Amino acid sequence: MSFAWGRFRDNVGTWLAFMLISIAASLLVVFPMSLVFFAPVADSGSGTALVLTLGAAGVALIVLVGMLLQAALVRAALAESAQDRPSLRHFGRIRNLSQALLAMAIVAVLTFAGLLLFVLPGLLVAFFSMFAVHFAVDQNLSAIDAIKSSWRAVGANVGPLLLLVLVLYLINLAGALILIGFLVTVPVAAIAVALAYRRVTGTA
């Protein structure tokens, strides 16, 4: 954690700028969609269908923006973990983006399905897939191979990684309680996970 904090501190301006841009981008997408969801609907089948269609498109757009921001976060965190100080341009230079997005989508679906099956299976999917995007972006793997590689890497290091996840959960929880604390805790957590990825894969 000290390494992650040090890297964040040394590049705090870039990280805070990315976090603020992420918030702004999210609001630009969410706010118009909220107008659609809460707009009065004409008492007709066509009016309801239009709102539902726009709502579905809006949800898909919100999810896509969130996934793009997550991929950008991983990209910059990987650079930090390699002691390569990223600029804002790094966040937009995401190698193998399509496979990274596909990996996120697959993991999200499997996690959701697992959560419906008494919660624990979903948590296990999320935990073992924690490096899927890292493998896709860093090693240019396909979505399926990235997920498989993540499961193998995490499976070989369950104890230390479980402890890391618990610590990061508490840190992010504290950041959320402080309201703006997440501007710091999210980047620090991302760098810590990227460093863990490099260590378990021997690329640190």
Least reliable range by pLDDT among 3-7, 41-45, 98-102, 164-168: 41-45
What is the pLDDT at residue 94? Answer: 92
Residue 204 to residues 15, 35, 44, 196: CA-CA distances in angstroms? 21, 46, 60, 8
* pLDDT tens-digit series, residues 15-53: 999 999 999 988 888 777 666 666 555 444 556 676 677
- Domain ranges in the chain are 2-201
Percent of the chain at pLDDT above 90? 65
What is the pLDDT at residue 48? Answer: 67
What is the pLDDT at residue 51? Answer: 66
What is the pLDDT at residue 56? Answer: 75
DSSP 155-193: HTTHHHHHHHHHHHHHHHHHHHHTSTTHHHHHHHHHHHH
What is the pLDDT at residue 37? Answer: 60
* pLDDT tens-digit series, residues 60-99: 888 899 999 999 999 999 999 998 888 888 888 899 999 9
- What is the pLDDT averaged over residues 155-184? 91
